[in-house]
Amino acid sequence: MLKIADKTFESRLFTGTGKFSSAALMEEALLASGSELVTVALRRINVNDAQDDMLLHLKHPHIHLLPNTSGVRTAKEAVFAAQLAREALETNWLKLEIHPDPKYLLPDPIETLKAAEELAKLGFVILPYIHADPVLCKRMEEAGVAAVMPLGSPIGSNKGLKTIDFLEIIIEQSNVPVIVDAGIGSPSDAAKAMEIGADAVLVNTAIAVAGDPVAMAEAFKMGVIAGRMAFEARLGNQENFAVASSPLTAFLDEL
Amino acid sequence: MSFKDKFEAYDWEEVKVSIYSKTAQDVLNALLAQKRTLEDFKALISPAASHFLEPMAQLSRKLTQKRFGKTLQMYIPLYLSNECTNICTYCGFSLDNKVRRKTLSREEILREVNVIKSLGYDHVLLVTGEANQTVHTTYFKEVIELIRPYFSQISMEVQPLETAEYEELIALGLYSVLIYQETYHKEDYKKHHPKGKKSNFDYRLETPDRLGQAGILKMGLGVLIGLEDWRTDSFFTAAHLQYLERTYWQTRYSLSFPRLRPFSGGLEPKVEMTDRELVQLICAYRIMNEEVEISLSTRESEQFRDHCIQLGVTSISAGSKTNPGGYAVEPESLEQFEISDERSPAQIAAMIRERGYEPVWKDWDAVFKP
């Protein structure tokens, strides 16, 4: 079981809601994924409409909503959006994302840290989307975030764990759950992230744009389970030298 | 430094010859490249690339779905005024076109808004001619303040303004500005705009720089297809886009490719662009730039739009009226141009769903600009 702030999760696969061809297909895929934490972009929903199509399709007892601030470019805008989300969706959980760069959507570390410090004081459970920067993750931890969400590669790129060396350092050093977010392109990427000790992964594009999003969601579900099992079972050590069956130095024992 | 400096380093005829001399091998190289340059773009829009339309379309669709998923943004224009002090040879609002002029009042705007909202829209594009005595920044400020409660995204397609004016409007909630160069052919530009402020080519060319400096969230670029050689004009659009992306890196960009349409007192296009060529251009832009938004208006035919939504287009209008008051106040007044796809927004949304895409009515929130 994974615990973040006051919630526990059986599934370590978190999912996004963008890019699906319909809200119904999104719902079907999310149910197949088994995900219990689903992020939803504030800019895509109408918070004043109880009949908002996307929100209606996310109404399941096991699904917790994680509103995100995608679209904001500064800490000030993020704080404003977070307050709106808390009021409208009745949750103090927030995926904090500030990416002023519309091309690669890379997170702004300075504004994100500023926003995290401010939002922690306001009582939010903050999950910040950040670059795979080990020092920044420690600074986020000090700011009071509930987890960190370093990227595997640029968002939506499906390029996998390009930042793996830094993810390993982050996982080694972190006192809060580490959720690998962005760039995970296949169930094997997700499994790899879990094998190196990530607490969870967040996947959107790889499921939403798959030929069969529902089947892909299930494949990710299994990939995450397999990766976590492998981590818990403790993978055998990799060796940088051969362990020969007839050691060259065995003769020393006979002397 | 503005795009004008870069633009002046080019020679129109040299660029044109360079595009038309690209070979099939150049096109293949462009298709296989990891990172594409403006030379690759020239190859993709060249006549040589017309034999690669299907692989271009396949790649364009793949790149579009990776970035945008299977979604299409919905938007609708709200024409506020047809008053204009410019003469443009291709436009129904041209000063020398003897039609009744109208600028909507606050009450009339709200009547129009009422109809637009009933169609399901949450994104609106405000359109005017250029008449600085009546349709000026003060008027735009009043309109934005008036309609902001009804829309989560407000865009504008009006005359070029000064940086400080854009800053004022952005502060009030303006999200994006569309500013089309019409043509990058400086001499022909002057022929098509003989009178009025719009005849200043350089002022228009530097408008995206002023928008970028003002911190606009999104800007739309494009040329009017039909005025000049579309391949050369499109190269300059791509060069302009590349410069802007690198300079104003926090701004999003969109492109559109209006083809000259019939209108009252209209000009015959100098250059015809076939449907195949428009598909080639859409795919070329997408292959060159995975992030740019591409929009298709109701100028295009039903059948063409139905197929284009899976080729690279990311936003689409429906139910558009191109005359001030067209939705409720004066449905029969003069249009800026004739629309080609007359289906209702609900019909278009149904078509989008039938093709496996989701129509998106809201993709922004005004709360992001407190």
Q: What is the DSSP string of A10-50?
A: S--EEEE-TT-S-HHHHHHHHHHHT-SEEEEEGGGS-TT-T
Give the minimum alpha-carbon distance from B69 to chain A in angstroms, rounded to a whole number.
Answer: 4
- CB contact burial B118-135 (16+ within 10 A = b; e otherwise): ebbbbbbbbbbbbbeeeb
pLDDT value, residue A241: 64
% of chain B surpassing 70 pLDDT: 96
Least confident of A52-56, A80-84, B246-250: A52-56
pLDDT value, residue A44: 86
Q: Is B174 helix (H, G, I), strand (E, B) or coil?
A: strand
Residues 166-225 of B with CB under 8 A from A: none
Q: Does B369 touch chain A (CB under 8 A)?
A: yes
Interface ipTM:
0.71
Per-residue pLDDT tens over the stretch A206-250: 999 999 999 999 999 999 999 999 998 888 777 666 667 777 767
Q: Which helix (H) or strand (E) holds A171?
A: helix A164-173
Per-residue pLDDT tens over the stretch A61-71: 999 999 999 98
Question: Are A21 and B70 an interchain contact pair (Cβ–Cβ within 8 Å)?
Answer: yes
Q: Cα(A183)–Cα(A152) distance, rounded to whole angstroms?
A: 5
pLDDT value, residue A253: 76
Q: Does A23 touch chain B (CB under 8 A)?
A: yes
B143 half-sphere exposure, CB direction, 13 A CA radius: 30
**Which of B128 and B330 is assigned the larger pLDDT?**
B128
Rg, chain A, Cα only? 20
pLDDT value, residue A49: 77
Q: Which chain A residues touch B368 with a CB distance below 8 Å?
A: 43, 71-73, 77, 80-81
Q: Cα(B148)–Cα(B144) distance, rounded to whole angstroms?
A: 6
**Which of A171 and A238 is assigned the larger pLDDT?**
A171
DSSP E strand stretches across B59-122: 71-79
Supply the mean pLDDT for chain B.
91
pLDDT value, residue B112: 94
Q: Which residues of A are annotated as a binding site?
A: 156, 182-183, 204-205
The tokens describing B198, both together, are 């719009």
Least confident of B5-9, B96-100, B129-133, B344-348: B96-100
Per-residue pLDDT tens over the stretch A177-214: 999 999 999 999 999 999 999 999 999 999 999 999 99
Q: Are A33 and A217 in contact (CB under 8 A)?
A: yes
Q: Cα(B233)–Cα(B111) distance, rounded to whole angstroms?
A: 39
**Which of A17, A21, A97 has the most B C-beta neighbours within 10 Å, making it the best mutation to test the interface with B?**
A21
% of chain B surpassing 90 pLDDT: 69
Q: Cα(A68)–Cα(B198) distance, rounded to whole angstroms?
A: 42
Q: Are A78 and A111 in contact (CB under 8 A)?
A: yes
Pairing type for strands B174-178 and B218-221 reads parallel
User: What distance lies between CA A117 and its chain's CA centroid?
Assistant: 20
Longest C-alpha distance within chain B, in Å?
A: 60
Amino acid sitting at position A123: G
Task: Classify the phi-psi angles of B215: left when phi > 0, otherwise alpha if psi is within -120 to 50, otherwise beta.
Answer: left
Q: Which chain B residues touch A22 with a CB distance below 8 Å?
A: 353, 358
Residue B149, number of CB atoms within 10 A of its CB:
9
Q: How far is CA A76 from CA A82, A83, A146, A193, in A?
A: 10, 11, 20, 32
The tokens describing B39, both together, are 């030379």
Name B317's bridge partners.
B75
Of A44, A80, A100, the CB nearest to B367: A80
% of chain A surpassing 90 pLDDT: 74
Question: Are A77 and B370 an interchain contact pair (Cβ–Cβ within 8 Å)?
Answer: yes
Q: Cα(A240)–Cα(B340) distance, rounded to whole angstroms?
A: 68
% of chain A surpassing 70 pLDDT: 96
Question: Are B70 and A19 an interchain contact pair (Cβ–Cβ within 8 Å)?
Answer: yes
Q: Which residues contact B132 (CB under 8 A, 6 or more apart)?
A: B85, B159, B197
Residues B205-218: what's their mean pLDDT? 96
Q: Does A28 touch chain B (CB under 8 A)?
A: no
Question: Are B71 and A205 an interchain contact pair (Cβ–Cβ within 8 Å)?
Answer: no
For residue B279, pLDDT over 80 is answered with: yes
pLDDT value, residue B263: 58
Question: Are B291 and A81 an interchain contact pair (Cβ–Cβ within 8 Å)?
Answer: no
Q: Which residues of A are annotated as a binding site for 1-deoxy-D-xylulose 5-phosphate?
A: 156, 182-183, 204-205
**Residue carrying structure tokens 């039903």:** B302
Q: Cα(A188)–Cα(A208) distance, rounded to whole angstroms?
A: 17
For residue A34, pLDDT over 60 is answered with: yes
Per-residue pLDDT tens over the stretch B29-67: 999 988 899 999 999 999 999 999 999 999 999 999 999
**Which of B66, B175, B241, B290 has the most A C-beta neighbours within 10 Å, making it the best mutation to test the interface with A?**
B66
B17 half-sphere exposure, CB direction, 13 A CA radius: 5
Residues A69-92: what's their mean pLDDT? 91
Q: Is B264 helix (H, G, I), strand (E, B) or coil?
A: coil
pLDDT value, residue A93: 97
Of A21, A81, A156, the CB nearest to B67: A156
Q: Which chain B residues touch A100 with a CB distance below 8 Å?
A: 249-250
A13 half-sphere exposure, CB direction, 13 A CA radius: 29
Pairing type for strands B153-157 and B174-178 reads parallel
For residue A252, pLDDT over 90 is answered with: no
**Residue carrying structure tokens 């669709």:** B61
pLDDT value, residue B266: 62
Q: Which residues contact A243 (CB under 8 A, 6 or more apart)?
A: none
Count of CB pairs separated by less than 8 Å, A with B: 75
Closest alpha carbon to A202 in A171, A156, A140, A144: A156
Of B65, B250, B360, the CB nearest to A73: B250
Give the minimum alpha-carbon distance from B297 to chain A in angstroms, rounded to a whole number.
Answer: 21
pLDDT value, residue B160: 96
Give the minimum alpha-carbon distance from B10 to chain A in angstroms, rounded to a whole number.
Answer: 26
Amino acid sitting at position A232: E
pLDDT value, residue A91: 92
Per-residue pLDDT tens over the stretch B69-105: 999 999 999 999 988 888 888 877 888 788 888 899 9
Q: Is A241 helix (H, G, I), strand (E, B) or coil?
A: coil
pLDDT value, residue B56: 95
Q: Cα(B294)–Cα(B221) distance, rounded to whole angstroms?
A: 10
Is A95 in the active site? yes
- Binning pLDDT at 50, 70 and 90, where does residue A146 land? very high
Give the minimum alpha-carbon distance from A110 to chain B in angstroms, rounded to a whole number.
Answer: 15
Residues B140-169: what's their mean pLDDT? 96
Nearest CA in chain B to A76: B370
Q: Cα(A190)–Cα(A56) distance, rounded to whole angstroms?
A: 28
Q: Phi and psi (nearest 5°) for B70?
A: -100, 65
For residue B238, pLDDT over 70 is answered with: yes
From A95, A114, A192, A221, the catalytic residue: A95
Per-residue pLDDT tens over the stretch B263-273: 555 667 778 88
Q: Does B270 touch chain A (CB under 8 A)?
A: no
